[in-house]
Amino acid sequence: MVAARTRLEIATENLANVSTEGFRRITARGFLTALGVTIDRETARQRRGAIHAGPQTVALPHISNGVDAISEMIDVLAAERSFESAQKAVTAIDLSRQKAAEAARVG
């Protein structure tokens, strides 16, 4: 849920700043560690009229910040769905624990 929330925050920040001059698109990279999921934020770097964000390079004829409103909106929707799925899983686990506790009291 933390990863989905962070992804949602980054996508909405990018979307909110789609026409802000000087803003650089933020990308999220998730890593699975022994303590759980870790999210790193990276700001795209601009070089010679292109935005470099990891292995991909996107040529930018008019947009100086590298934010594509349509792809950011899709990312917002995907992050919302991911968060809702995680929330449903937690609710199902809670219900299972409640049923187990009730069964232990009866028996």
Q: CA 2 → CA 5, 15, 58, 71, distances in Å?
A: 5, 20, 29, 21
What total of structural domains would you count in the chain? 1
Its pTM stands at 0.59
Look at residue 61 in the predicted model and tell me its pLDDT: 47
DSSP lists the bridge partners of residue 32 as 37
pLDDT in tens, 26-68: 887 878 888 877 778 888 765 444 444 555 555 544 445 677 8
Q: Note the pLDDT of residue 88.
A: 94
Give the structural domain span for 98.
2-106
Give residue 49's pLDDT. Answer: 47
Higher pLDDT, 60 or 88: 88
CA 25/CA 70 separation, integer angstroms = 13
Q: Token pair for residue 11?
A: 């996508």
Across all residues in the chain, what is the average pLDDT? 78
**Residues 15-35: what's their mean pLDDT?**
83
